[in-house]
Structure 1
Amino acid sequence: MAEEKLTLEDLKGATTGGETVEGPKYEVKKDELGRSYGTGRRKDAVARVWVKAGSGKITVNGREFENYFPRPVLRMMINQPFKVANIENQFDVVCTVSGGGLSGQAGALRHGLARALTAFDPNMRPALKAAGFLTRDPRAVERKKYGKAKARRSFQFSKR
């Protein structure tokens, strides 16, 4: 018996009745004020981010961006999605962050910003995805175990 060799092209239409399935279509999601929303998370921090076309002003919890994040490294981290998508100073951002520390809040804000920009213009998605800004950073603090001083540190050994 001669066996037929199936190729990948033959298998593509097998489950859909001959039609090939394309990836999901991403659509523009804006409210009546022309804003797009994104939620970002990092460690214990959660950021709710609204983005709209504007002059590049960023407001965090009702305060100026520079006042809320005094460290230049955190500000640079938050501005990365704008640099990757080549849209610096074109969007106004209003966000509320809660939980965690400043570093976790900055990471959550970056994640939420990337998601909000994707909702505003789906054409930005490939650049933001390639840079890794749409993926939630899963790292978190390890829990303390019983019989240990911290998560892994043992109590000090005493010979006598």
Structure 2
Amino acid sequence: MAESVQSLEGLSSLKAQAVAEQPKHVQKLDAQGRAYATGKRKNAVARVWIKPGSGKIVVNTRPVEVFFARPVLRMLIQQPIVAANRSGQYDVICTVSGGGLSGQAGAVRHGISKALTYFEPDLRSPLKRGGFLTRDPRVVERKKYGRAKARRSFQFSKR
């Protein structure tokens, strides 16, 4: 009985050590006081900088309303900021390349999420819970030899 009590105490001390060794997320800022992150989706890559401000979002030197004309895409970009309750507190500057508009919007969303966690490490858990920090792994399947497209075969001809 005494051995089991000692082993339980030993386990609790090991648990305390494990908790102390867990990595604490630290703030990562550049010389201008901005947080930088790279977001990806499909073939699009977004480089995102976040700094405290009035809530302006600029994509490729253009306002977000001009670059992403569809309201759905603008809503997609705002999701991590709304989930973190930081609407109107950060200015976002990003450059996007590759892919189409939908992939680019997803890449910007991913980049904003990562940059928010670098600026405020405490926001990591609500953003992770919302699924904003996970890179969507779905990409277009490559075309195979002997096929018309990735999976579609050529039309069968009887004669």
Two-structure CA RMSD over aligned residues (Å)? 2.3
Distance in 1 (CA, whole Å) between partners of 2:99 and 2:128 is 25
Task: Give CA-to-partner distance per residue, 1:94-126, whole Å, 9 cap, x none.
Answer: 000111111111111000000100011011111
Partner in structure 2 of residue 150 of structure 1: 149
Query: Match for residue 64 of structure 1?
Result: 63
> Per-residue deviation at 1:159?
2.0
Worse-matched range after superposition: 21-30 or 80-89: 21-30
Q: What is the letter of the counterpart of residue 85 of structure 1?
A: A
In structure 1, the residue matched to 2:137 is: 138
Superposition TM-score, scaled by structure 2 size: 0.88
Query: TM-score w.r.t. structure 1 length?
Result: 0.88
C-alpha separation in 2, matches of 1:93 and 1:104: 18
1 CA distance for matches of 2:49 and 2:155? Answer: 50
Decide which of 13, 17, 20 is 1:19's aligned counterpart: 17
Size of the aligned set, in residue pairs, is 154
In structure 1, list runs of 5 or more residues that go unmatched: none
Residue identity in the other structure for 2:14: G
Cα displacement (A) at 1:29:
1.4
- Tell me the CA shift for residue 28 of structure 1: 1.1
Displacement of 1:20 in angstroms is: 2.1
Q: Identity of counterpart residues, as a percentage?
A: 63
For 1:20, give the aligned amino acid. Answer: A
Is 1:110 aligned with 2:133? no
3-state DSSP of counterpart to 2:33: coil
Instruction: Give, in angstroms, the shift of residue 10 of structure 1.
Output: 3.2
Residue matched to 2:88: 89
In structure 2, list runs of 5 or more residues that go unmatched: none
Q: How does 1:37-56 map to 2 (within 5 A)?
A: 37-56=36-55
Deviation at 1:33, TM superposition (A): 1.9
* Shift in alpha-carbon separation, 1:12–1:146, aligned structure 2, 3 A: farther
Q: Does 1:120 align with 2:119?
A: yes
Aligned-partner SS, 1:19: helix
